[in-house]
Amino acid sequence: MQDLGISVLFRGVNFQRLLGGLWVTLRLALITIGLSCLFGLLFGLLMLSKKKIAKVFCRVWLEIVRFMPQLVLLYLVYFGFARLFGWDLDGETSAVIVFTFWGTAEMGDLIRGALTSIPLHQTESAAAIGLTKGQVYLYVLIPQTLRRLLPQAINLSTRIIKTTALVKMINVTEVLKVGQQIIGQFYRQPDAAFWVYFVIFLLYFLVCWPFSLLAKQLEKRWA
Amino acid sequence: MDWSFIASHVRDYTGGAWVTLRFGLYGVLCSLALGMICCLARYFRVPVFRQIAAGYVELARNTPLLVQLFFLYAGLPRVGVRFSAEACAVIGLTFLGGAYMAEAFRSGLESVDKAQVEAGMCIGLTRTQNIRYVVFPQALATAVPALFANVIFLIKETSVFSVLAMMDLMNVADTLRTSGGRTVEVLFMLVAAYFVILLPVSVIATMVERRLRYAGFGNQRSV
Amino acid sequence: MSDTILRVNDIYKSFDGTGVLRGVSLEIREGEVVVIVGPSGCGKSTLLRCINGLETIDRGEIWLQDEKISGQVKELHVIRQKIGMVFQSYDLFPHMKVMDNLLLGPTKALGRHRQEVEQEALQMLERVGLKEKAYVYPRTLSGGQKQRVALVRAMLMHPEILLLDEITAALDPEMVSEVLNVVIDLARGGMTMAIVTHEMRFAEAVADRVLFLEEGVVLEEGTPEKFFHAPATERAQRFLQSFTYASKRDQAAAKPQGEPL
């Protein structure tokens, strides 16, 4: 077991370091998810507004964010804003800006989709039995919207978690970087790299998979 | 905006775009093949293969491409499995993409009404004939929008190829940025290049989707 | 008997422990039209689906002419070539034009030549009044038209027997007669049929024999004259009465005026 590369991870606090690196990206993801839910709600409602200009604004935002690869957007903010506006943004802040920009639009679109997918006759029949508008929202619209929204929102969150791995490319010390440091320290251990990256692969899987299972279960139960 | 800089570097970007596009398309094609195979393994309940396919899909969909590439490019060589940068790019993209394509095909197959299958059986077709003439055409038509969405997604993911030692679009931009300044122009051209790659694909996808929706495909039953 | 097309011997079928068919027997001779009626859930559709092998039976036997077809697994598609079936939901293939829907079975399953089948298909379409719709997609057709195409599709296979499972249940009332008239036409032409329906007047017009099924058992069997006008069992009487309504005006006359509430 001593000669096996994986033993590298059991030495000292290496595994904790790895987890610490993972936490960096997870923290970014959580912040992004939180902000996206908040702003996404506003975005979604804006998409449904009667004013054409609001709809066009949202549409353009959504298309830009969906069209460009996330990494390109990261570069634009991290390197580009520094040049254009003279801001000195660190990797994490750039990431939060870019991912929230993306997450808000996606979440907003999900919310809009969920709200509009409730058949009109649901609200009509609720009104027909004499409920007030507020009661219709509370007892009919919102519960049903949440049921359609939640599985997709969970899937979006998983995508956000996976995308935060990209911050490696803008010099944030996250799990892959920590892995590289560990491997560098143990250069005498030839197959350390294999085991370290394999473990990182598994770590991401163990974080994301439960959520996607949850989303599937909810979808099955509520469909 | 320094237009002369842009003009003199169009060649570099074209080269980078070509690298990105080429290996992206190889990855997409292999993904389609792999996705189809996985889907068939599960549809025909081939023992062993169907469980492997199921496990593979979960694994590939819950880990970021960046981590997969690190494992392939920096981890595997330490146990003697060495792939070139280009091979890693295609293998990595195929690993990720195959899972998404498999899901798209699967949802297409599941969307074919059981009654259609029975109708085919009732006119005396063999199982193979039924699948070939009744099920597959309808499954494919339903799956096409998702398949196209995956293609666009995968081409965007190719931005991560820059972590490998190949002169893709992101690496071209990176090299130019670090060697000469002119960040704004470099980033502008980067965005433009991705635009040029992604716009045609996006337009084709929308056209195909619209044709299919006009033809009323999928599970339309106007009872 | 060599002109018995279908023989169903005492079949049993249950789903999830609930018995749906409990000892049903039935014989249909060549050219006969047997109509099966009964309340919902009595097993009528299941009976047809068992005959066609879409459901397997738990006990009993089904014979098509001189061949036992129950319990078969391998050559089911060959058996199904001899049995035509049309469903409530017509299930035309949406990705093919009407003609291709019609040609698929005869050309692929029976291996006939396309031109020859096409000629026959056009003739049949003309008989049902849909010749001009031969080369359109099913989605442009009305429900009644789709169902007539479904009938032609089944008939083009030249089956020994035709099974019709509530084929007008999903149609708007105006289209029901156009479909049922086609069925009566086929019956006059000598087609052997087993029909499940809720349309009682049609049943009386087309049937040689009527079977009344309730809770998986054949409660009564007889000629249409006897069944519809003088049913023997009380359950059959109650069933037939469920299709009639007492007039609102009769009730008002029956109640004396000024009765205290």
**Which tokens hold the place of A39?**
């702003």
A139 within some domain = yes
pLDDT averaged over every residue in chain C: 88
**Which residues of A touch chain B, with CB atoms under 8 Å apart?**
5, 67-72, 75-76, 79-80, 82-84, 158, 162-163, 165-166, 168-169, 176, 179, 190-198, 200-201, 204-205, 208-209, 212
In C, minimum Cα distance to B122 occurs at C80
CATH number of the CATH domain containing A214: 1.10.3720.10
pLDDT of amino acid C170: 87
- Determine the distance in angstroms separating the CA of A49 from the nearest CA of chain B, rounded to an integer: 25
* Residues B61-107 pLDDT 10s: 999 999 999 999 988 888 888 888 889 999 999 999 999 999 999 99
* Residues C182-193 pLDDT 10s: 999 999 999 999
**Which tokens hold the place of B14?**
């074209």
Asked if the Cβ–Cβ distance from B202 to A67 is below 8 Å, we say: yes
Domain boundaries, chain B: 3-214
Query: Confidence band (pLDDT; 50, 70, 90) for A69?
Result: very high
Q: Using a CB-CB distance cutoff of 8 angstroms, which residues of chain B are in contact with residue A204?
A: 62-64, 67
- Determine the distance in angstroms separating the CA of C136 from the nearest CA of chain B, rounded to an integer: 12
Q: Using a CB-CB distance cutoff of 8 angstroms, which residues of chain A are in contact with residue B190?
A: 72, 75
Task: Give the domain extent around A58.
Answer: 7-222
Q: Is B160 on the interface with A (CB under 8 A)?
A: yes
Identity (one letter) of the amino acid at A33?
A: I
Whether chain B lies against chain A with 3 or more Cβ pairs closer than 8 A is: yes
Distance CA A140, CA A157 (A): 26
This model of the complex carries an ipTM of 0.86
Residue with tokens 């590939």: B60
Asked if the Cβ–Cβ distance from C139 to B137 is below 8 Å, we say: no
Report whether A188 contacts B78 (CB < 8 A).
no
Q: Using a CB-CB distance cutoff of 8 angstroms, which residues of chain A are in contact with residue B194?
A: 68-69, 72
Report whether pLDDT(B217) > 60: no
The sheet carrying C4-15 orders its strands as C18-29, C4-15, C59-64, C67-68
Which of C54, C84, C110 lies at the smallest CB-CB distance from B118?
C54
Q: Is B4 on the interface with C (CB under 8 A)?
A: no
pLDDT of amino acid C252: 59
For an interface test with A, the pick among B21, B78, B111, B189 (most A C-beta atoms closer than 10 Å) comes out as: B78
Asked if the Cβ–Cβ distance from B67 to A201 is below 8 Å, we say: yes
Q: Is C211 helix (H, G, I), strand (E, B) or coil?
A: strand
Q: Is B84 on the interface with C (CB under 8 A)?
A: no
A136 within some domain = yes
Report whether pLDDT(A29) > 90: yes
A2 within some domain = no
Report whether pLDDT(A151) > 70: yes
Distance CA A210, CA A191 (A): 30
Query: Confidence band (pLDDT; 50, 70, 90) for A138?
Result: confident
CATH 1.10.3720.10 fits B3-214, yes or no: yes
Chains touching chain A through at least 3 C-beta pairs below 8 angstroms are B
3-state secondary structure chain A: CCCCCCHHHHCCCHHHHHHHHHHHHHHHHHHHHHHHHHHHHHHHHHHCCCCHHHHHHHHHHHHHHHHCCHHHHHHHHHHHHHHHHCCCCCHHHHHHHHHHHHHHHHHHHHHHHHHHCCCHHHHHHHHHCCCCHHHHHHHHHHHHHHHHHHHHHHHHHHHHHHHHHHHHHHCCCCHHHHHHHHHHHCCCCCCHHHHHHHHHHHHHHHHHHHHHHHHHHHHHHHC
| Domains of chain C as residue ranges with CATH | 4-243 (3.40.50.300)
pLDDT (average), residues A144-152: 88
Phi, psi of C161 (to 5 degrees): -145, 145
Q: Count of domains in chain A? A: 1
Q: Is B221 on the interface with C (CB under 8 A)?
A: yes
A1 within some domain = no
Q: Using a CB-CB distance cutoff of 8 angstroms, which residues of chain A are in contact with residue B162?
A: 71, 169
Nearest to C5 by CA among C36, C34, C29: C29
Report whether pLDDT(A223) > 80: no
Relative to beta strand C83-86, strand C59-64 is unpaired
A205 within some domain = yes
- Determine the distance in angstroms separating the CA of A110 from the nearest CA of chain B, rounded to an integer: 16
Q: Is B75 on the interface with C (CB under 8 A)?
A: no
A74 within some domain = yes
Q: Using a CB-CB distance cutoff of 8 angstroms, which residues of chain A are in contact with residue B198?
A: 67
Report whether C48 contacts C19 (CB < 8 A).
no
Q: Using a CB-CB distance cutoff of 8 angstroms, which residues of chain A are in contact with residue B66?
A: 165-166, 168-169, 176
Distance CA B12, CA B176 (A): 9
Q: Using a CB-CB distance cutoff of 8 angstroms, which residues of chain C are in contact with residue B124?
A: 77-78, 80-81, 105, 109-110, 157
Q: What DSSP character marks residue C70?
A: T
A61 within some domain = yes
Report whether C101 contacts B120 (CB < 8 A).
no
pLDDT (average), residues C32-50: 89
